[in-house]
Structure 1
Amino acid sequence: GDMSGAHGALRGLARRCIQFIKRMGSFSSAPCVVNPDNQDDGVQVEVGRDRRATHEDVCRWCERQLAGTPARLLPRSMQPVQAMQALQAVQGDPDPTPARPQWRNDDSNTIRVLQWNVLSQALGTSNDNFVACPERALDWAVRRPLMLQELAAAAPDIICLQEVDHYKFLEAALSPLGYRGLWEPKPDSPCKYVPDNNGPDGCALMWRADKFSLVQEHRAPLHIWHMTSNQVVLLAVLRHEASGREVCVATTHLKARAGALMSTIRNQQGIDLLNVVAAHADGRPVLLAGDFNAEPSEPVYRTVLQHPALRLASAYSKASHRAQEDDGIVHGDPVAASAQGEPPYTTWKIREEGEQCHTIDYIFYSRSAFSVSALMDFPSGEALGPGRAPSYQYPSDHFSLCAELRLEDSRPEPRPPGRCASERTK
């Protein structure tokens, strides 16, 4: 009776799940057309002709592109973690100065990691329904320099991006600053069903070649119950030149949409993602950044933080900073404490259905290998204005996360309270 009803319901759920996974990128009956990535052909970022280009040069080039438009990037700043321990949200002051490269910690063991869902141009203009955004602010001619300026002003060592459908431009624009990178498209990108697309969207992973060299790369679709899904993991093992240590960096973009079914799919993708990362990390320190499309209350957040081999923490959670100070001993449920300490939002947009303000983007790091020293603040609601994002002040509906992480001498994990050693080695 009851049991067979429950089994039937489960089977129905599984069937819906499988149909959903198989449908992949097409959200309509639109024809699929894959265009080449050529919309930026002929756009030259003219910087540093007689000397090595600087991040500052690139910021100024971006501002010149926007002259005569109302577009002007919201400035943000890196804040030492101590300053953020205060209870209010991580927020910058509305500040009239233009966005410029951030102060750098010149300790060679400090790695600055930026995570950002940049918003695919094809999806942002056709499917996302940003009803409060002026139409011209979504023009690629406006978004392109704003996006590049946000990256150049943060001056990161490692960049993890999602929804990238203009990778050729990013690669060309960032290579004068010494960045190298990888890009992996979604198997069945929804962009391909949008007229005038610039090819598929995917994940990108970039690094400063003066600080890192590529040891190995790995790219794969994520699996759900042994079926290929439309989401990918892009992973690179990078050798940190200053210390000679190798770090495993991975980025992903999990399935979007609300509801129990989607939450289950994301958790399954998370399980596969962590297996891939653990296998390639092979004991190396890990940086895992992405748009997980999941609030901290969702199962996948706990799945990530409780992975026994990876032992990850979330860079933006206040709980991680507190754990650094009090020797890593967290009483009660460390995952709940971490979730509690996350910022109030990483994406803030207005769609037809209304205002959507969520925390779904993360930078996770090996807690035994890194400590967080500084974080990029988020624009306040006041600075964003009533239309939120994207806008003339900000090119995506997600804000970039940027964390400064210090690579520590491999220190032993602080011992969890009340466990004997023999239990811990299992």
Structure 2
Amino acid sequence: MGNSTSRLYSALAQTLSSSPPSLAEEYLEQPVDVQPLDPEELLKECEEVLHSRPPRLRRSFVFPPRDVPSQHHSIRVMQWNILAQALGEGKDSFVQCPLEALNWAERKYLILEEILMYRPDVLCLQEVDHYFDTFQPILTSLGYHSSFYPKPWSPCLDVEHNNGPDGCALFFNRDRFELVDSINIRLVAMMLKTNQVAIAQTLRCKESGRLFCVAVTHLKARSGWEVFRCAQGLDLLQNLQSITEGMGIPLLICGDFNAEPTEDVYRRFANSSLNLNSAYKLLSHDGQSEPPYTTWKIRPSGESCHTLDYIWYSQHAFSVDSVLVFPTEEEIGPNRLPSYNYPSDHLSLVCDFSFNDEPNRLL
């Protein structure tokens, strides 16, 4: 790591040294005073640290046709379950992934490199367990507003030498948007508070003056919990309905839903009165099918290839300008994910959205 590590953390040293000894108080958003970082310099540093690793997955954008070009700059949104460090090393049992490939000293650079490669305006992450010592200070210094909401009973806490609970994190470009309102949601299912959470923030676009609401969530995992997931999804929809009701505020909803498109929670989002559509359906020939996978891993129980991650958008208010394609099976490789050249078992989703000129049109 050598000089690269010292360069990166010299800009963050004051913040990290002044962090409270216990981060478990309320996990409220805290102001971070850090020196600005040059994203190009940080990207070069990532490449230097990772020079001994194989080439990273290279992906391209496709551009769905649209009738009328937008008069505004696109909003780039990234959705990504980055894999909690404690779970990757201690619980998830990726049998084809060498433990040294998950070493946080280098894996954090792989994550940062992916983010810097696409420079999202809005970044939605799940399984974040290094928020305060890595993502908050670094992304704040890159010009992002940062928010975090941990799971109440994070499985990371069961792992020895953990870095605290994992949770959802939401970041947005301060130069492009201003925060109007923010709410942390502990999802309810069957009248019970659950271990899954969401963040919903209403933003104002400085260029156009338009409002929109962005939400990030991570629903309950594992087979057998389909009814529970659906209840969580309905609770999230009801919360978002309350936030946007009467104001016509469009939505961007990102998350690891842990649900295939065949599950009821997916159908509830697709048929919601909020008029949502899934952006990644635009990769299909008919525009009606999700990709064959967003996560692909090998565990002791066997190979696991599923579509679980989505970016939903209000189709009356937004158009999709571009979608980042997924790597092929050959590009991912026989050992699947995570790997030496990709830091998570989930692939990132990246889309460019622009406001429609008729935002009140519902169909």
Structure 1-normalised TM-score? 0.74
Partner of 2:304: helix, strand, or coil? Answer: strand
The whole-number CA distance in structure 2 between the counterparts of 1:318 and 1:180 is 29
The whole-number CA distance in structure 2 between the counterparts of 1:123 and 1:157 is 28
Partner of 1:267: helix, strand, or coil? Answer: helix
Structure 2-normalised TM-score? 0.86
**Would you say 1:343 and 2:280 are equivalent positions?**
no
1:403 to 351, 355, 359: 351
Q: Percent identity?
A: 46
Q: Counterpart of 1:285?
A: 250
Contact 1:72 1:146 in 2 (8 A): no
Contact 1:253 1:291 in 2 (8 A): yes
Give the stretch that moved more between structures: 74-83 or 287-296: 74-83
The whole-number CA distance in structure 1 between the counterparts of 2:337 and 2:297 is 5
Could you list the per-position Cα deviations for residues 120-163 of structure 1 after superposition, in whole angstroms to 9, with x for gaps in the alignment? Answer: 00011111000000111011112100000001101110000000
CA RMSD of aligned residues (A): 2.5
Q: How does 1:380-395 map to 2 (within 5 A)?
A: 380-395=328-343
C-alpha change, 1:238 and 1:412, in structure 2 (3 Å) is closer
The whole-number CA distance in structure 2 between the counterparts of 1:54 and 1:402 is 22
Partner of 1:313: helix, strand, or coil? Answer: strand
1:64 to 36, 48, 60: 48
C-alpha change, 1:58 and 1:79, in structure 2 (3 Å) is farther
Contact 2:280 2:310 in 1 (8 A): yes
1:356 to 273, 285, 304: 304
The whole-number CA distance in structure 2 between the counterparts of 1:171 and 1:359 is 28
**Would you say 1:78 and 2:64 are equivalent positions?**
no
The whole-number CA distance in structure 2 between the counterparts of 1:404 and 1:176 is 23
Contact 2:278 2:310 in 1 (8 A): yes
Deviation at 1:81, TM superposition (A): 2.5
Q: Counterpart of 1:366?
A: 314
Contact 2:130 2:163 in 1 (8 A): yes
The whole-number CA distance in structure 2 between the counterparts of 1:279 and 1:186 is 23
Deviation at 1:70, TM superposition (A): 2.4
The whole-number CA distance in structure 2 between the counterparts of 1:154 and 1:366 is 23
Q: Counterpart of 1:421?
A: none
Aligned length: 332
C-alpha change, 1:146 and 1:320, in structure 2 (3 Å) is same
C-alpha change, 1:321 and 1:279, in structure 2 (3 Å) is farther
The whole-number CA distance in structure 1 between the counterparts of 2:71 and 2:301 is 47
Partner of 2:108: helix, strand, or coil? Answer: helix
2:91 to 120, 127, 134: 127
Could you list the per-position Cα deviations for residues 329-358 of structure 1 after superposition, in whole angstroms to 9, with x for gaps in the alignment? Answer: xxxxxxxxx3xx111100011111111110
Deviation at 1:58, TM superposition (A): 2.2
Contact 1:350 1:388 in 2 (8 A): yes
Name stretches of at least 5 consecutive residues in structure 1 with no aligned partner: 1-39, 84-104, 324-337, 416-426
Letter in 2 for 1:273: L
The whole-number CA distance in structure 1 between the counterparts of 2:10 and 2:82 is 19
Letter in 2 for 1:134: P
C-alpha change, 1:372 and 1:193, in structure 2 (3 Å) is same
Q: Counterpart of 1:188?
A: 153
The whole-number CA distance in structure 1 between the counterparts of 2:141 and 2:59 is 23
The whole-number CA distance in structure 2 between the counterparts of 1:167 and 1:127 is 20
C-alpha change, 1:45 and 1:124, in structure 2 (3 Å) is farther
C-alpha change, 1:52 and 1:195, in structure 2 (3 Å) is closer
Q: How does 1:296-315 map to 2 (within 5 A)?
A: 296-308=261-273, 310-315=274-279
C-alpha change, 1:320 and 1:249, in structure 2 (3 Å) is farther
**Would you say 1:267 and 2:230 are equivalent positions?**
yes
**Would you say 1:140 and 2:119 are equivalent positions?**
no
